Amino acid sequence: MDLDVLRQTIANNGYEVILCGITSAFVAQVIKFCFFTIKTRHINFKIFTTTGGMPSSHSTGVMGLSTIVGILQGFDSILFASCLGFSLIIMYDAAGLRRAAGKTAASLNRMMEDFYHHDLQSVGGKLKELLGHTPLEVFVGAILGIAYAYLFHWFVIK
């Protein structure tokens, strides 16, 4: 398939919106994987499916989607306002509720280690602790999503 035909197929419609949202979240996961690999000097492909870390792929995806809707429909449209509203809720949840759940899981893990003397397998294993994001991780993810949407749209229409 010719690149120009592909661009015409996805430009200025719902395909561009959904592709931008999905690929921006994927790019954030790739960046997260690279950061983890550089930091730990260990390759772990499970990073692609885990939550938490820098940058927030949830924030990147929803802000990428909201921004591309704003570009295509107008930043004064009802559709953009709806997308942005849901994006803010998701980002608040990532930095608030999910982060608090991760802290709770860490506390429970410590309590269970003390109680079961480091034999957590007898009660089903450790709870996952890295669930949410710091406000900085959410902010960086949001900025990445906005920038990605502009670059994605520029690439599609160019």
Say what the pLDDT of residue 105 is: 67
Say what the pLDDT of residue 13 is: 79
The amino acid at 120: L
pLDDT interval class at 157 (50, 70, 90): confident
Say what the pLDDT of residue 56 is: 87
Name the packing angle between helices 78-95 and 57-73 (round to 10°). 170
Say what the pLDDT of residue 71 is: 94
As a whole number, mean pLDDT of residues 46-51 equals 71
Average per-residue pLDDT for the chain = 81
Check pLDDT > 70 for residue 90.
yes
Domain boundaries, given as residue ranges, for the chain: 3-96+132-157
As a whole number, mean pLDDT of residues 95-117 equals 68
**What residues contact 152, with CB distance under 8 A and at least 6 apart?**
16, 19, 20, 23, 24, 64, 68
- Start-to-end CA distance of the chain, whole Å, equals 17
Name the packing angle between helices 3-10 and 14-40 (round to 10°). 110
Say what the pLDDT of residue 149 is: 96
As a whole number, mean pLDDT of residues 8-30 equals 86
Say what the pLDDT of residue 102 is: 65
Kindly report which listed range (27-41, 63-77, 116-130) carries the lowest average pLDDT score.
116-130
**pTM recorded for the entire structure:** 0.75
